[in-house]
Amino acid sequence: MKQLIYITGIKTYSFHGCLAEESRIGGHYQVDIKLETDFSQAALNDDLIETIDYVVVNQIVELEMAIPSKLIEHVGLRIYNTIKSTFITCNKLEVLIRKISPPINGDVDEVAIALSDFN
| Cα distance between residue 34 and residue 11, in whole Å | 16
Which range among 3-7, 8-12, 52-56, 98-102 shows the weakest confidence by mean pLDDT?
Answer: 98-102
Phi-psi region of 101 (alpha: psi -120 to 50; beta: other; left: phi over 0): left
Helices (H), 1-119: 20-25, 40-45, 54-65, 72-86
pLDDT at residue 8, rounded to an integer: 98
Residues 91-116: b if buried by 16+ CB within 10 A, e if exposed = eebbbbbbbeebeeeeeeeeebbeee
- Domain span at residue 109 reads 4-116
Dump pLDDT digits (tens) for 28-73: 999 999 999 999 999 999 999 999 999 999 999 999 999 999 999 9
pLDDT tens digit sequence for 78-110 = 999 999 999 999 999 999 999 998 888 888 999
Q: What is each CA distance from 13 to 33, 42, 77, in whole angstroms?
A: 17, 33, 18
Catalytic residue among 2, 34, 70, 99: 99
CB 87, CB 35: distance < 8 Å: yes
**How long a stretch of residues is the chain?**
119
Residue 1: its pLDDT value, please? 86
Give the global pTM. 0.95
For position 98, what pLDDT does the model report?
A: 98
User: Does residue 99 have an active-site annotation?
Assistant: yes
Count of domains in the chain?
1
CATH of the domain at 93: 3.30.1130.10
